[in-house]
Chain A
């Protein structure tokens, strides 16, 4: 590689001698440019980082100004080879500096081609870039222009590859390798572009030709790898998994940095996982990590695979590792290796890559850890993680919190609610109460006295996303108010339970009552088309949660009244709860017990019989997925188990749906 760096004045002088007077004027300027290039080599040795970047920038400026001088003269055949080489070098620096390919480069190549045609006496105006290339490669037969043109062609290929114009790249390489017809896809169904790239023979550069910063051969290799990787990712995106797999596997044999190799392995892992081969996926993800430990998305993918496999220990370990890696400040890995100005990283841009390799935030990973621990029943760990997360959220702006729609982190009040439920499960009731108090105080100013929501039958079927995703029926402002009410009510509910566990019945009753009062602020006005509560829940997922919270609050208050011996009030609460959720087994059992206790045995017997008859079809009920339901899940998990069990009538499931929901893997993908 170093040979390409020995850019000594002599080749240029040779060219100048031949080019005659037009180049003589450049002699002086060339000297100054070459000084720059010498300084650039110094920059390279001085190490990576800013110095190298500055050196590269100076080089680009030097090449740019040289090119301007050359292009200021009319195009002439003898000097074209030099001009194209300077253009090539200048573009290489421009690309590497801007960390991606921008519009301007394509136009500069166009301009270069037009000048080539001019020199040959052919007009090249008004032609598209593809047509220009065709014309240039067909009309210009000068031997010594062949190498510079092919070199520029490779660069053009890179530009098109970066813009995902695979068709144009294929066409160009057909021209370059002088293949008239599309290659027969006979040999093993190999991809045409890859075959063309392989078949393309780079013209041998003579000793006297001006030197280049990155050789065409290297560029060819990089193009090949990028083309394979890019097409593999596109296949992955399109769901064309076997093709994607073969392309990605081909890409691993290519010429690229460790970082890209790790990305390719991760993509293979992702691909095989989708193909239903989790073990193979794990192997590839491991390889990705072996190649480059900084490839954190491999870790998060691995966590996902372990979750699928049900290996909670391994999953949590992977997540913990990921968090640890994210916590340590990322090393400044991006430094320009001067030998590879064009790298695979610069050429492959697809949505799949962006989503697969977007860097996750520590807070997201911490949340996943906490949530998974809680779901796996490791309450103590979950509490630790939740408390860490809450501390993380309060930290300064250095710790960024992802609040956007694709984040794994839910809305902040929901994080608090989950933390409260974890604390409560661990028996840290006072702490749970404090966390809930935070939600209550924050929502204090945000909820209206009454919230009247008119439900439209058309407002159905929409998953509640984060801020925005405007539901057709409900204005976002109202939805946000409704969410605040749900959060506040849930916080009161948790407080009620916590006080219950602390044995403070009166406090508990106060919280449950507040919870019910908050819920009363919502007035759901349904259109004529909505009759049943199911339909309403469908139109507004939060409505379902509201009902559940009301039921749980009524049950909690009823049992606390019972505790205090105020059976009649307890009875009223239980009856009310049955009205809210007809047929709810827990409510029925509470009611049954109270009736029995109050000596209203006939009523109790009738109720029991009715319940027995309804028991069978009662489980079919499923819940609409969504974030708000999840905060209910958290609520349900916390629910003191013994309290339910103590009043359980045999053969009745405990709060159906809710429990089953808790065990289910969340639908959201970890995106790292």
Chain B
């Protein structure tokens, strides 16, 4: 697993938003000595690796989604969100460039920012999602009218033609199964992935293909994957990976479908030239190709060819770590490509591969390399014959110890193989990682220059390690905090849920009373939350008071309306109380619909702590089974019901003892008459002490002793006269 010792150099820092760069849109391209970089903002940077200076900054009207380079014409193609594809000639930059000062390490001075206006827009199309280039054709993928459209444009010579490009052909198709509800939110984070697979022997200059993420596939894989027609036409194939996980292909030379005359092809989902290769069931983040078989080294001709020969394995990587490798099987029986699924640790932010047998992928915490060269790994030479040239059954990722990289690119600068990995971290740092195996390096005597170089390397290594440590430490702290909070929550929940019958350790008492607020008499509900448990209610808990206004008898149709008031609890230590008051209505104010049911509950949102502790949205579902008690229905958090009581007209009734009209009653002394009645009736046998006329059966239960307790029935009758008086004065107002 450990594969330590790669040299990492920081090249430059680029500005990044507060939360760090998000994966998907940033892009790093490398051609010769120049690095072309977009960090998901509206800027595209050109960085000279040799001179370590920032050569140019281009500013586009909107967020940059995708960048491709056409090295042959020295042109950059940039997809701008919601506007279209722009073309920037790199030869012009020297003319435009005002001299920047030598230090390009930090953000260059704003004078060197070239604003790009809409004249440079060669394909104005708001529906574009991504594009790729193959020599002088531009292939775009857009989404319109519930369909995906692959369109083919030919780039024209601007000197001779009036238009910068001309659309040749297009094909529309739908990835039918995920147009629905829940997928959209997730899918919208991701852009589709597009790349070109050339047939063997048709690729022109290899680097053009390589730059735009395209590759050449060897036979027989090409024919097996894409069919004999595409192979005999020598047609490059366009591979599209969609956010819903589908991987489709369509031949570049047959980008047309029969118009859906009878609607048959619509029903089938795919127009005939479009073929579904696989369904990953998670957003596709990368499509690439590897060369897993090494030619026999003893054959010098093959050795010569090795650089140019195609790849023999297609890999597709999904966001949550599913990786699919497709390779031609050498078995004699079935002539189908072998498709093998691997599960890497997700979420995968980006990946890169460059002609060798290794694929590099980045998660939040690390860059890892997986090697699909199975033969070299086979320990038992006898097995090679049986299992020769198939894909390895499991992958063992090797760590590169570089964290939170959001864009990766393999540099082809050195003459052989994968040599250098360019990475853009979430903090906006551009790094290069030397991939030459440390074993190969021969120990040499240190000369002073080399010692200086070595020290530089070590320092940069220390910088890298410290960044990694700080990242990991942050992650660990976050997880610890989350665990502590969870522990608290579980304790409280257990205490509340375990003794259902007895007295609950956390109680909430609801009382309704009149009070005087701002010179108005207001009927309020006060809830007293008392924590008699041994745990502290920490921040994150919320007291929810829900009021159900039950529908009136004469208005059957109106549904019960519920209002929820939430009060965040900062901290409630054991033994302490917290009171919250809800005004329900003023005397003159709105009509109250009684009876009123008040239900109190404690709520703890799990989303917050779990989100901070992990990136995966699924974790909550995995963590808690569906039938856990106390879990709120939407699984957002834990909900613990405390108490429920009904408030009726009796509690609302205010009996005016003051007979002098105009004089405000002393509200403070006024207590709930019913409470008073019940209290009194327990100790006194004389019911007449209350103002209301009443009957009590049986009288004085206390007198009969505790062992005999017949069901006590109380009925309270309010004299209509009294009520009338009260209501009259109520209606007249004070």
Instruction: Point out residues on A near B: beta carbons under 8 Å.
Output: 50, 351, 354-355, 358, 361, 393-394, 396-407, 411-413, 416, 438-439, 442-450, 466-468, 477, 480-481, 484
Q: Is the CB of A354 within 8 A of B232?
A: no
CA of A393 to CA of B333 in the docked complex: distance in angstroms? 32
Q: Is the CB of A397 within 8 A of B231?
A: no
* B residues 231-254 in Cβ contact with A at 8 Å: 231-236, 251-254
A448: chain B residues at CB < 8 Å are 332-335
Q: A397-B134, A404-B254, A413-B229 are in contact. List 18 more A-B contacts (CB 8 A).
A: A351-B261, A354-B261, A361-B256, A397-B255, A398-B137, A398-B168, A403-B273, A404-B256, A404-B257, A404-B272, A405-B272, A406-B258, A445-B219, A446-B220, A446-B224, A448-B334, A468-B268, A481-B335
CA of A603 to CA of B255 in the docked complex: distance in angstroms? 61
Q: Is the CB of B332 within 8 A of A449?
A: yes
Q: Is the CB of B335 within 8 A of A401?
A: no
Cβ of B227 within 8 Å of any chain A Cβ, yes or no, is yes
B334: chain A residues at CB < 8 Å are 448
17 A-B pairs (CB sep. < 8 Å): A354-B259, A397-B168, A397-B252, A399-B253, A400-B152, A403-B254, A404-B258, A405-B272, A412-B232, A413-B232, A438-B232, A442-B228, A445-B224, A445-B335, A450-B333, A477-B336, A481-B335
Q: Which of B224, B231, B258 contacts A405 (CB 8 A)?
A: B258
CA of A467 to CA of B258 in the docked complex: distance in angstroms? 14
CA of A398 to CA of B257 in the docked complex: distance in angstroms? 16
Most buried by B among A361, A404, A411, A412: A404
CA of A403 to CA of B275 in the docked complex: distance in angstroms? 12
Q: Is the CB of A411 within 8 A of B229?
A: yes
Closest chain B residue, CB of each to CB of A400: B169
**Which 5 pairs between the two chains have the least Cβ-Cβ distance?**
A445-B220, A406-B258, A403-B254, A412-B232, A404-B258
CB distance from A327 to the nearest CB of B (A): 15
Cβ of B262 within 8 Å of any chain A Cβ, yes or no, is yes
B152: chain A residues at CB < 8 Å are 397, 400
Q: Is the CB of A403 within 8 A of B229?
A: yes
Q: Is the CB of A403 within 8 A of B259?
A: no
CA of A400 to CA of B273 in the docked complex: distance in angstroms? 12
Closest chain A residue, CB of each to CB of B336: A477
A50: chain B residues at CB < 8 Å are 163
A398: chain B residues at CB < 8 Å are 137, 154, 168
CA of A481 to CA of B228 in the docked complex: distance in angstroms? 10
CA of A484 to CA of B251 in the docked complex: distance in angstroms? 19
Cβ of B533 within 8 Å of any chain A Cβ, yes or no, is no
Q: Which of A358, A412, A449 contacts B233 (CB 8 A)?
A: A412
CA of A413 to CA of B253 in the docked complex: distance in angstroms? 16
Closest chain A residue, CB of each to CB of B250: A403
Closest chain B residue, CB of each to CB of A415: B232
Cβ of B41 within 8 Å of any chain A Cβ, yes or no, is no
Q: Is the CB of A416 within 8 A of B168?
A: no
Closest chain A residue, CB of each to CB of B258: A406
Closest chain A residue, CB of each to CB of B257: A404
CA of A354 to CA of B332 in the docked complex: distance in angstroms? 46
CA of A536 to CA of B180 in the docked complex: distance in angstroms? 45
A446: chain B residues at CB < 8 Å are 220, 223-224, 228, 335
CB distance from A41 to the nearest CB of B (A): 22
Q: Is the interface of B mostly helix, strand, loop or mixed?
A: loop
Count of chain B residues with Cβ under 8 Å from any Cβ of A? 42
CA of A413 to CA of B233 in the docked complex: distance in angstroms? 10
Q: Is the CB of B261 within 8 A of A406?
A: yes
Q: Is the CB of A400 within 8 A of B261?
A: no
Q: Is the CB of A445 within 8 A of B328?
A: yes
Cβ of B375 within 8 Å of any chain A Cβ, yes or no, is no
Q: Which of A358, A438, A442 contacts B259 (CB 8 A)?
A: A358
CA of A406 to CA of B137 in the docked complex: distance in angstroms? 26
A401: chain B residues at CB < 8 Å are 233, 235, 251, 253-254
A481: chain B residues at CB < 8 Å are 335
B233: chain A residues at CB < 8 Å are 393-394, 401, 412
Cβ of B49 within 8 Å of any chain A Cβ, yes or no, is no
A354: chain B residues at CB < 8 Å are 259, 261
B224: chain A residues at CB < 8 Å are 445-446
Q: Assess A447 versus B261: contact at CB under 8 Å? Given A438-B232, A467-B227.
A: no
Closest chain B residue, CB of each to CB of A438: B232
CA of A157 to CA of B255 in the docked complex: distance in angstroms? 35
Cβ of B265 within 8 Å of any chain A Cβ, yes or no, is yes
Q: Is the CB of B228 within 8 A of A412?
A: yes
A484: chain B residues at CB < 8 Å are 228
CB distance from B164 to the nearest CB of A (A): 11
Cβ of B56 within 8 Å of any chain A Cβ, yes or no, is no
Q: Is the CB of A355 within 8 A of B168?
A: no
Closest chain B residue, CB of each to CB of A445: B220
CB distance from B258 to the nearest CB of A (A): 4
Cβ of B87 within 8 Å of any chain A Cβ, yes or no, is no
B372: chain A residues at CB < 8 Å are none
A467: chain B residues at CB < 8 Å are 227, 272
Closest chain A residue, CB of each to CB of B222: A445
Q: Is the CB of A407 within 8 A of B336?
A: no
* B residues 195-243 in Cβ contact with A at 8 Å: 219-220, 223-224, 227-229, 231-236
CB distance from B143 to the nearest CB of A (A): 16
CB distance from A652 to the nearest CB of B (A): 38
B259: chain A residues at CB < 8 Å are 354-355, 358
Q: Assess A466 versus B272: contact at CB under 8 Å? Given A404-B257, A406-B258, A442-B223.
A: yes
Cβ of B271 within 8 Å of any chain A Cβ, yes or no, is yes
B227: chain A residues at CB < 8 Å are 467, 480
CA of A468 to CA of B272 in the docked complex: distance in angstroms? 8
B268: chain A residues at CB < 8 Å are 468
CA of A396 to CA of B253 in the docked complex: distance in angstroms? 7
CB distance from A631 to the nearest CB of B (A): 14
A405: chain B residues at CB < 8 Å are 258, 265, 272
CB distance from B149 to the nearest CB of A (A): 15
CA of A450 to CA of B224 in the docked complex: distance in angstroms? 17
CA of A120 to CA of B118 in the docked complex: distance in angstroms? 46
CB distance from A405 to the nearest CB of B (A): 5
B254: chain A residues at CB < 8 Å are 400-404
Q: Which of A358, A404, A413, A439 contacts B271 (CB 8 A)?
A: A404
Closest chain A residue, CB of each to CB of B273: A403
CA of A399 to CA of B232 in the docked complex: distance in angstroms? 15
CA of A481 to CA of B333 in the docked complex: distance in angstroms? 12
A358: chain B residues at CB < 8 Å are 258-259
CB distance from B132 to the nearest CB of A (A): 13
CB distance from B291 to the nearest CB of A (A): 18
CA of A32 to CA of B169 in the docked complex: distance in angstroms? 39
CA of A466 to CA of B261 in the docked complex: distance in angstroms? 17
Q: Which of A393, A396, A402 contacts B256 (CB 8 A)?
A: A402
B252: chain A residues at CB < 8 Å are 397
Closest chain B residue, CB of each to CB of A411: B229
CA of A355 to CA of B168 in the docked complex: distance in angstroms? 20
CB distance from B277 to the nearest CB of A (A): 14
Q: Is the CB of B336 within 8 A of A397?
A: no
Q: Is the CB of A412 within 8 A of B229?
A: yes
Q: Is the CB of A445 within 8 A of B271?
A: no
CA of A358 to CA of B169 in the docked complex: distance in angstroms? 13
CA of A361 to CA of B233 in the docked complex: distance in angstroms? 15
Q: Is the CB of A400 within 8 A of B229?
A: no
Q: Is the CB of B223 within 8 A of A445?
A: yes
B257: chain A residues at CB < 8 Å are 404
A399: chain B residues at CB < 8 Å are 253
CA of A421 to CA of B268 in the docked complex: distance in angstroms? 36
Q: Is the CB of B335 within 8 A of A403?
A: no
CA of A52 to CA of B254 in the docked complex: distance in angstroms? 32
CB distance from A452 to the nearest CB of B (A): 10
CA of A443 to CA of B253 in the docked complex: distance in angstroms? 20
CB distance from A371 to the nearest CB of B (A): 18
B232: chain A residues at CB < 8 Å are 393, 412-413, 416, 438-439, 442
B229: chain A residues at CB < 8 Å are 403, 411-413
CA of A354 to CA of B257 in the docked complex: distance in angstroms? 12
A351: chain B residues at CB < 8 Å are 261-262
